[in-house]
A and B are shown apart, each in its own frame.
Chain A
Amino acid sequence: MSSNPILRTALVWGGVFALVLAVVAGGVGFAVDGSRGLVSGLLGTLIAAFFLGITAGSILFANRFSSSDMFVPIYFGVVMGGWILKFVLFLVAAWILREQPWVDPQILFLSLIVGVIGTLVIDCIVIARSRMPYASDVRLPEYTGTDD
């Protein structure tokens, strides 16, 4: 599919942003709450980058089946299934992590919110700068006449 390069670029730049934010969030967390803050900042950034990356990743994975007759059900099944699974996993992870003594919940969830907003900004920039042909996924009808 013609959208694959753009989604791949969004994933790569999202990863680069997550690395930069991990350093910043880890540093701020360490300054505020020592090693507990460091772990919380890193973990919050990792969760934001991973869970937001699942959307682009699931679209890229589903596009592998673009030649299949069942592409539309497979595509929306994979993307929406990944979406619902992501939220269930996120709720479970948040519930477990909040109780841990080595995690500062406020630093964790604040770095997560910053990560989510930052990844959105990166996605917007990547998509605004992308160039796509207008009619990009044309499949010409095959001639099935009997006169040749």
Chain B
Amino acid sequence: MDSTTLLAEINGNIATVGYGLAAIGPAIGVGIVVGKTIEGVARQPELAGRLQVLMYIGIAFTEALAFIGIATYFIFTN
């Protein structure tokens, strides 16, 4: 076995890397959503209820991305 073949050998499933990539977006997204909600409530405490509802829908969208990312991994590795 020459050195080129040995260096190119990778074990495991490339879909795992796909999940890692899919986790980056939701992580950044939920960080921004929660951070901005904290900022908003700090500036206008009387808007806490409204901001909570908006934060909820923001989190729902970002977590949907993560769920679909994980689910596609399991669909394509079948």
Q: Which residues of A contact B (CB under 8 A)?
A: 1-3, 6-7, 10, 48, 51-52, 55-56, 59, 63, 72, 76, 79-80, 83, 86-87, 90-91, 94, 98, 105-106, 108-110, 112-113, 116-117, 119-120, 123-124, 127, 130, 132, 134-139
Contact = CB atoms under 8 A, between A and B. Distances in A.
Contacts, number: 105
Interface residue tally of chain B, by bracket? Answer: 20 to 34
B14 interface: no
Contact of A109 (B30, B45, B71): B71
Which 6 A-B residue pairings sit nearest by Cβ, starting from the closest?
A2-B49, A109-B71, A3-B49, A3-B52, A135-B46, A136-B49
Given A55-B59, A55-B60, A76-B34, A132 B53 contact: yes
Given A76-B34, A109-B71, A112-B67, A59 B56 contact: yes
A105 B77 CA distance: 10
Contact of B78 (A52, A106, A117, A127): A106
B48 to A, nearest CB: 5
The binding surface of chain A is classed by DSSP as helix
Nearest to A87: B66
Interface in B53-78: 53, 56-57, 59-61, 63-64, 66-68, 70-72, 74-75, 78
